[in-house]
Amino acid sequence: MTVKKESTYFMYFPGNYRWSSAFINMMSSAPYGGSEISELHKIGIQLKDKDPEDDEAWFHACVNVADKVRAHAERFEASKHATSAAHAYLRACNYYQMAERFRTPKDDIALAAYKKGVDCFHRHVALTDVKIEIVEIPTAAGPIPGYFVHAQNAKSKKSPCVVYFDGLDVTKEIQYVRGVPDLIKRGISVLVMDGPGTGEAIRFRGQYLRHDYEVAGSACVDWLEKRDDVNAKKIGVVAISLGGYYAPRMASMEPRFAACIAWGAIWDYHATWKKRIDAKFKTSLSVPGHHITWILGVDTLEEALKKLEPFKLDGVVQKMKCPFLIVHGAEDEQVPLADAQALFNASGSPDKKLRVFTAEEGGAQHCQRDYLTLGVAEMWNWFEDKLLRS
């Protein structure tokens, strides 16, 4: 008789992977200013007993709360209480963007909510005591938007910098509340970017997902090299989820990167989506299945698979020379641990490490969303060692 091990996997909406993953993403951003438990509870109450496919209900529940939090922010700003306003604007931004992520195709209602999120973040930038620049990085395919977040506690005039890209369905604003406030405290600046296929780059600029992400990565290095407050010899790169393809690709093709973290491994993204499509999307997905056609700029799943054919790291990561860290969850339902092991084995980096988070310690879910502070601490410790101490 085989005894099945009891799962330790927490789901806020039992049986609904997508909503649970998004809700836990919001919960885990609290230490970095992205959420508050009372506000999340209001979202949860509105979604109680809703159909798991009712993304309209998800959208309106999140937007309703975002509107209320933004109203607090505007009230605080009007009464000249900048600190309180900055906090509230940051949370409202997170809720607006998490509301919009399931709504595809992106209609005017979706884009309006997303834009409110960006506007809230810009108000946060204006009011916070963290020094943040709203920037545009020129690339061969047109400029991409980002934020340059200045290092705190800097040890010298020129600080190391980490370029931080998103994934399949993340945005630079959502990334900010996934660890950036902790990284800058270590004396490392952060350039947080919407790359092709994500965030503002696709919504407002029509920049679709591309396999040669080094075009964006190299453009960021070019831009950083011109700054007098960045140590150009100490530029790292990290990207999350599908960014586990972007970051290793960039670090392998762009030798100026001094360190690389794949926050969630990707090995063969074409194979990953082939399995999902063959399963008719009856699998663990963080967004609706048709999201992939939208970010690739195609009409059919067949066309999407064709465009995904070059999204493979074999033959690429063998070229990597810089220190390389892969972090992956042992219970990641979106990308198997075997992909992380394949990526580790193939990397040409002479200084590489695979860190697997287990269910017992926490952080075993996709991109450590179930113990974000632990995952962030270990990644940023590693960057501190490689960019500041080495």
**Minimum mean pLDDT range among 9-13, 59-63, 298-302, 370-374:** 9-13
**How many CA atoms are closer than 13 Å to the CA of 36, on its beta-carbon side?**
14
As a whole number of angstroms, the distance between CA 325 and CA 374 comes to: 15
Judged against a pLDDT cut of 50, whether residue 13 lies above it is answered with yes
* Closest to 373 (Cα-Cα) out of 3, 82, 27: 27
Supply the pLDDT for residue 9: 66
> For residue 8, what pLDDT band results from cuts at 50, 70 and 90?
low
Is residue 104 over pLDDT 90?
Answer: no
Q: Which helix (H) or strand (E) holds 96?
A: helix 82-100
Contact 97, 59 (CB under 8 A): no
Taking residues 20-43, report their average pLDDT: 97
- pLDDT tens sequence across 163-184: 999 999 999 999 999 999 999 9
Residue whose C-alpha is closest to residue 103's, from 41, 65, 60? 60
Label residues 223-250 b or e (16+ Cβ within 10 Å = b).
Answer: bbeeeeebbbebbbbbbbbbbbbbbbbb
Place of tokens 């943040």: 132
Tell me the HSE value of 324 on the side-chain side, using a 13 A CA sphere. 31
Q: Which residues 6+ apart lie within 8 Å of 346 measured at CB? A: 313, 314, 317, 318
Using an 8 Å Cβ cutoff, are 266 and 335 in contact? Answer: yes
Using CA of residue 380, residue 164, residue 210, residue 99, what is the dihedral sign?
positive
For all residues of the chain together, what is the average pLDDT? 95
Q: Is the pLDDT of residue 14 over 90?
A: no
Residue 166, burial from CB neighbour count under 10 angstroms (0-12, 13-18, 19+): buried
Query: What is the topology classification, in CATH, of domain 17-129?
Result: de novo design (two linked rop proteins) (1.20.1440)
Confidence band of 3 (pLDDT split at 50, 70, 90)? very low
Cα 115 from chain centroid? 18
CA–CA distance, 131 with 359 (Å, rounded to integer): 37
Amino acid at 277: I
**Residue 173, SS3 per DSSP:** helix
More confident position, 224 or 103: 224
Percent of the chain with pLDDT over 90: 90
- Which sign, positive or negative, has the C-alpha torsion 368, 374, 378, 379? positive
Please, which pLDDT band fits residue 1 given cuts at 50, 70 and 90?
A: very low
pLDDT at position 288, please?
86
pLDDT of residue 19: 94
Third-level CATH fold of 130-390: Rossmann fold (3.40.50)
Locate the domains of the chain by residue range: 17-129, 130-390
Helices 37-47 and 82-100, packing angle to 10 deg: 30
Give 110-134 pLDDT, tens digit per residue: 999 999 999 999 999 999 999 999 9
- pLDDT tens, 43-65? 999 999 899 889 999 999 999 99
Beta-bridged to residue 202, according to DSSP, are: none
Q: Please name the helix (run of DSSP H) or strand (run of DSSP E) that holds residue 239, with its range, or none.
A: strand 230-240
User: Amino acid letter at 237?
Assistant: V
| Pairwise CA distance, residues 200 & 207, whole Å | 9
- Burial of residue 309 (number of CB atoms within 10 Å: 0-12, 13-18, 19+): exposed
Distance between CA atoms of 121 and 147, rounded to whole angstroms? 10
Segments of 168-229 assigned E as strands: 189-193
| pLDDT computed for residue 286 by the predictor | 85
Burial (Cβ within 10 Å: 0-12, 13-18, ≥19) of residue 48: exposed
Instruction: With a cut of 50, say whether residue 185 has pLDDT above it.
Output: yes
CA max distance for the chain = 67
Rounded (5°) CA angle 168-169-170: 105
DSSP 385: I
Q: Report how many helices (DSSP H) and strands (DSSP E) the chain contains, helices first.
A: 15, 8
Asked if residue 375 lies in contact with residue 259, where contact means CB atoms within 8 angstroms, the answer is: no
**Higher pLDDT pick, 216 / 279:** 216
Residue that has been written with the tokens 């910098």 in this structure: 161
Other residues' Cβ atoms within 10 Å of the Cβ of residue 279: 11
User: In this predicted structure, which of 8-12, 36-40, 152-156 has the lowest mean pLDDT?
Assistant: 8-12
